[in-house]
Amino acid sequence: MGFSKGTSMTTTYRAFVLSKDGDTVGAAIQHRNMSTLGDGNVTIRVAWSSINYKDGLATLSKGGIVRDYPRVPGIDLSGIVTESSDARFKEGESVLVTGFGTGVSHDGGYAEYARVPGDWVIRCPENLSPREAMIFGTAGFTAALAIQRLEHQGIKPESGPILVTGASGGVGSMAISMLSKLGYEVHASTGKTAEHNYLKQLGASIILSRDDVSTQGRPLEKEKWAGAVDQVGGDTLSWILSTLKYEGAVACTGLTGGVKFRSTVMPLLLRGVSVLGVDSVMYPASSRATLWQRIAGELRPDHLELIAEELDLEHIAPVLQQILKGNIRGRRIVKLD
Ligand code: NDP
């Protein structure tokens, strides 16, 4: 592509585009004119994006993510600013964007260029490359938010073990790695027997099976965990509530196992248990940069590369289907540069 500075010499860019025909959503790589970029005051030459569960949902006609087509999905992106009328960002700076409308109501990261509102943009911390920023992406940011929620609840490494469910996925891998870096004893539940060794390498000391943590038990079972990061929901969340220790808390991040859960008020009234919501999408822009500094510093796993696998734009489509089946381990990052 012929450009060095700015976007003035660039006329087209490649993008993975979703289109809808009746009830069917199709995907194709297109050469788009620069005039198709979304509204916003910061234009970014996208270097990296990533694959999240929500990006998989975006490809489904009834996934509830994308309403207007054509749409470039990709809820995460990082790269270099090529044009900015926002005084906070200068040409040539490394930046990252996660959440807000990215890849949902606004064209996202599966394209060589993106234009977004400056309020969505975060400067990459000095010790975090655009590539590393996408290994974390929304999954890492969500795991960090969940840990922050547990900490605000007073939970510390000495409080006891933390359970991470859906452990081999993106949020799960990140949560295990970050908690273990902070000195927590981490227990992990997974549906993938082949990934026990991987989870131990990330820092989990005990591995449970997915079935062990999704049983229909009594309202109060034996107390086990000081806290939990749960990205499964459904029966797993019900079971976690009955097994949290006194004043324990569960940070709810996901729904891969279902949106409905059953419980009673007993864990809340008799054990002072808390259910904590986690939302990475609309988390206030004003607090994001501080959390990214923490991600790049004390929360940064020593084995970041173990979690990541690279792919290019041409290989996105099958991976988006795989993630919906729960078959992806760790994080897949998309190379655009
Ligand atoms: P991944 O697909 O990478 O991870 C999900 C993991 O959940 C799978 O790897 C699998 O792990 C487990 N799983 C899959 N299917 C089932 C099932 N039927 N029952 C129980 N467990 C299952 O997805 P992400 O990490 O990107 O996202 C995880 C969840 O978190 C999603 O629901 C997503 O929507 C949500 N999310 C929410 C955010 C927020 O802001 N609240 C932000 C980001 C994600 P294993 O085989 O190890 O059990």
Name which of 71, 13, 70, 18 is nearest 47 in CA terms: 13
The mean pLDDT value for 114-133 works out to 98
208 Cβ inside 6 Å of ligand 1:
no
Given a cut of 80, whether residue 304 has pLDDT beyond it is: yes
If you measure from the C-alpha of residue 231 to the centroid of ligand 1, how many angstroms do you get, rounded to a whole number? Answer: 5
pLDDT for 3 equals 37
Confidence tier at 9 by pLDDT (50, 70, 90): low
C-beta of 65 in contact with ligand 1 (< 6 A): no
Q: Is 140 in the pocket of ligand 1 (CB under 6 A)?
A: no
Q: Which residues contact 244 (CB under 8 A, 6 or more apart)?
A: 223, 224, 225, 226, 227, 228, 250, 267, 271, 273
Residue-wise pLDDT for 90-113, tens only, equals 999 999 999 999 999 999 999 999
pLDDT higher than 80, residue 224: yes
Query: Which residue reads 């409308």 in tokens?
Result: 101
User: Does the Cβ of 149 fall within 6 Å of ligand 1?
Assistant: no
Nearest-angstrom CA–CA distance, 76 and 58:
13
Report the range of poorest mean pLDDT among 62-71, 76-85, 121-130.
Answer: 62-71
For residue 54, give the ligand 1 atom closest to its CA. 34
169 close to ligand 1 (CB < 6 Angstrom)? yes
pLDDT at 20 over 50: yes
Q: Is 50 in the pocket of ligand 1 (CB under 6 A)?
A: no
Q: Is 232 in the pocket of ligand 1 (CB under 6 A)?
A: yes
**Predicted local confidence at residue 217, as pLDDT:** 81
Burial class of residue 290, CB neighbours in 10 A (0-12, 13-18, 19+): exposed
Q: Which atom of ligand 1 is nearest to the CA of 192?
A: 46
Q: What is the mean pLDDT of residues 240-245?
A: 97
Q: Is residue 139 lining ligand 1, measured as CB closer than 6 Å?
A: yes
Nearest CA owner, ligand 1 atom 4: 169
Ligand 1 pocket, 330 CB below 6 A?
no
Question: How far apart are the CA of 236 and the centre of ligand 1, in A?
Answer: 12
Q: How far is the CA of 102 from the centre of ligand 1 (A)?
A: 19
pLDDT greater than 50 at residue 5: no
pLDDT for the residue 139: 98
Answer for the pair 113, 7: CB distance below 8 angstroms, yes or no: yes
Per-residue pLDDT of 179-215, as tens digits, reads 999 999 999 999 999 999 999 999 999 999 999 999 8
Q: Is the pLDDT of residue 239 over 80?
A: yes
* Torsion sign, CA atoms 155, 281, 30, 117: negative
151-170 pLDDT, tens digit per residue, is: 999 999 999 999 999 999 99
Q: Provide the whole-model pTM.
A: 0.96
Give the Å distance between the CA of 210 and the centre of ligand 1: 12
Considering only CA atoms, which residue is closest to atom 5 of ligand 1? 169
Nearest atom in ligand 1 to the alpha carbon of residue 280 is 40
Owner of token pair 């029966």: 235
Per-residue confidence band for 337, with pLDDT thresholds at 50, 70 and 90: confident
What percent of the chain has a predicted confidence (pLDDT) above 70?
Answer: 97
Looking at every residue in the chain, the average pLDDT score rounds to 95
Q: What DSSP element (H or E) covers 93? A: none
Q: Is 98's C-beta closer than 6 angstroms to any atom of ligand 1?
A: no
Q: How far apart are CA 154 and CA 245, in angstroms?
A: 13
> Is the C-beta atom of 168 inside 6 A of ligand 1?
yes
**Rounded distance, CA 159 to CA 137, Å?**
29
Atom of ligand 1 nearest to the CA of 327: 9
Lowest pLDDT segment from 21-35, 66-80, 210-224, 298-312: 210-224
CB–CB of 45/4 below 8 Å?
A: no
Q: The tokens of 135 are what?
A: 């290994």
